[in-house]
Amino acid sequence: MKRHDFTVAVIGGGASGMIAALTAAQVPGRHVLLLERQQRIGRKLLATGNGRCNLTNRNAAPADYFGTDAAFAAPALTHFTPQDTVEFFSGLGLLTVTEESGRVYPLSDSANSVLDVLRFALDRAGVEQRCAFPVEELRPSGSGWQLAGGSETITADAVILACGGAAGAKLGGVTDGYRLGKALGHRRSALYPSLTRILTDPEYPRSLKGIRVQAELRLTRRDVLLAESEGEVQFTETGISGPAGFDLSRAVSFGGDGQVVHLRLLPYDEAEVLRLLKARRDALPDLEASELFTGMLHNRLGRVVVKAAGISGAAPLHELSDSQLGYAARRCTDFCLAVRGVDGFDAAQVTAGGLLTESFDPKTLESRLHPGLFACGEVLDIDGPCGGYNLQWAWASGALAGRLGS
Ligand SMILES: Cc1cc2nc3c(=O)[nH]c(=O)nc-3n(C[C@H](O)[C@H](O)[C@H](O)COP(=O)(O)OP(=O)(O)OC[C@H]3O[C@@H](n4cnc5c(N)ncnc54)[C@H](O)[C@@H]3O)c2cc1C
């Protein structure tokens, strides 16, 4: 059997674990083991970006990230930028396209391509993959580590914890990483689902189900602004989803009772919408009020806005007063949905919260409590907005952890 000077065990064959293993394997003489509890590596990656894998975002910068100490992420994100991600994947043979929003996808439009090039690279680099190997216990042993899973115990000189977070439970999101960290004295912050559907009072959503709209969103609580976002919103049976809705979900998770989402449904201010509505009343006096927004908004949405403004849909437009048109313009630029909460970890794309970063060195991602233990990806208390930011954190932190402090 081939003898190795140094064994590195990577716990978790997801995005951050794969790149960490590839980076660690660049040093000759190292035996790199990638341990994955599921039947195959990269299962969650295949589901990303609705199966297209939004692998990074050209605009991702350290200031965009969240966490108890979000500045912790800066060295990793600066060391491995979105451009580095694109070049890294290009080097593995993946062609990519960048959308106007900065989102980067494989040209094939298939997440499979991203996983395939990673798998080929792992094989070429000689990384030993052990699937269906759930690491249940991780303990220091002499100058190295013992990793127990099932009936087997593996020894390693260094360990990279890349177990991901609790989000996407149906795709294998688990809390193992936090548990393994805790057993070694690493504390974690509270966990919240993020980038998930916002649940609202059921009054409107059901009749709006399936409608997509470009909107500006504000989240308030007792008239205090908590968060803002902009972009596509999709109405669902229970509330809102879509990138702009997802981006508010983190703040909803943290925000408590009494929150309201306000949507500006047209890219105009209230006075301009009122001017358009008055012109419509003049041009089409016999039209039913329920059609007030026809041609301006999705017709089902238009009818709901009219109803939300307290206007009877059957009245002809010429019967509507200026103040009634004013209410309609107000509801169109400030369409309010009372928030009930967010969907749970099953539906969430990312976990807000995780292992507290104060116990890791941001320049190496090595544990301050246990030399030789590194952590990367979602298991750490760092998360980002929708649009490629979380995979960028996974690649950047995995590439840094894989250097094992060198
Ligand atoms: C539906 C969905 C869509 C998404 N879309 C996007 C997107 O388009 N762009 C984007 O940037 N982000 C997206 N994300 C978020 C992104 O996928 C994650 O942030 C990223 O995968 C985190 O990488 P990770 O390596 O930390 O964790 P993961 O990719 O979750 O990998 C962790 C791995 O560790 C394994 N593991 C856990 N515990 C153990 C154990 N005890 N022993 C062995 N193995 C273990 C898990 O099975 C898993 O394979 C999406 C997430 C979801 C759920």
Q: What is the pLDDT of residues 270-327, one digit of tens each?
A: 999 999 999 999 999 999 999 999 999 999 999 999 999 999 999 999 999 999 999 9
Q: Is residue 349 in contact with ligand 1, taking CB distance under 6 Å?
A: yes
Token readout for 13 is 């064959």
Instruction: List, in order, residues 6 or more apart from 33 with CB less than 8 Å away.
Output: 7, 8, 9, 10, 127, 128, 130, 154, 156
Q: Are 49 and 114 in contact (CB under 8 A)?
A: no
Instruction: Note the pLDDT of residue 202.
Output: 81
| pLDDT tens profile 44-101 | 999 999 999 999 999 999 999 999 999 999 999 999 999 999 999 999 999 999 999 9
Q: Is residue 383 in contact with ligand 1, taking CB distance under 6 Å?
A: no
Chain centroid to Cα 364, Å, comes to 24
Q: What CA dihedral angle connects 359, 365, 371 and 373, to 10 degrees?
A: 100
* First-last CA distance in the chain: 28
Ligand 1 mean position, distance from CA 383 (Å): 12
Q: Is residue 37 in contact with ligand 1, taking CB distance under 6 Å?
A: yes
What b/e readout covers 324-356, taking b as 16+ CB neighbours within 10 angstroms? bbbbbbbbbbebbbebebbbebebbbbbbbbbb
233: amino acid identity, one letter? V
- Rounded mean pLDDT, 322-338: 97
Across the strands, what pairs with 214? Answer: 232
Atom in ligand 1 nearest the alpha carbon of residue 377:
26
Q: Is residue 157 in contact with ligand 1, taking CB distance under 6 Å?
A: no
Q: Is residue 36 in contact with ligand 1, taking CB distance under 6 Å?
A: yes
Hunting for tokens 């952590």 — which residue is that?
A: 375
Among 163, 84, 184, 168, smallest CA distance to 375 is for 163
Instruction: Note the pLDDT of residue 1.
Output: 42
Ligand 1 mean position, distance from CA 14 (Å): 5
φ/ψ of 201, rounded to 5, equals: -55, 140
How many residues are there in the chain? 406
Residue nearest to atom 20 of ligand 1 (CA): 391
Strands (E), 285-359: 335-342, 350-352
- Rounded mean pLDDT, 211-218: 98
Does residue 2 have a pLDDT over 60? no
pTM beyond cutoff 0.75: yes
DSSP state of 278: H
The continuous run of DSSP H or E covering 199 comes out as strand 198-200
CA distance 220 to 225: 4
CA distance 178 to 184: 10
Ligand 1 mean position, distance from CA 165 (Å): 7
Share above pLDDT 70 across residues of the chain, in percent, rounded to a whole number? 99
Q: Is 270 buried (19+), middle (13-18) or exposed (0-12) by CB count in 10 A?
A: middle
φ/ψ of 3, rounded to 5, equals: -95, 140
Atom in ligand 1 nearest the alpha carbon of residue 54:
8
Residue nearest to atom 51 of ligand 1 (CA): 349
CA distance 335 to 217: 9
Q: How confident is the model at residue 179 (pLDDT cuts 50, 70, 90)?
A: very high
Ligand 1 mean position, distance from CA 12 (Å): 9
Among 218, 294, 288, 219, smallest CA distance to 252 is for 219
Instruction: Note the pLDDT of residue 4.
Output: 64
Instruction: Note the pLDDT of residue 3.
Output: 53
Ligand 1 mean position, distance from CA 396 (Å): 14
Does residue 388 have a pLDDT over 60? yes
Q: Is residue 281 in contact with ligand 1, taking CB distance under 6 Å?
A: no
Instruction: Note the pLDDT of residue 27.
Output: 96
CA angle centred on 327, ends 323 and 332, rounded to 5°:
145
Average pLDDT, rounded, for the chain: 96
Question: Interhelix angle for 82-91 vs 389-401, to 10°?
Answer: 70
Ligand 1 mean position, distance from CA 45 (Å): 6
CA distances from 336 to 48, 204, 240 (A): 30, 10, 12
Instruction: List, in order, residues 6 or more apart from 198 with CB less than 8 Å away.
Output: 239, 240, 241, 245, 248, 249, 252, 261, 339, 341, 342
Q: Is residue 8 in contact with ligand 1, taking CB distance under 6 Å?
A: no
Q: Is residue 394 in contact with ligand 1, taking CB distance under 6 Å?
A: yes
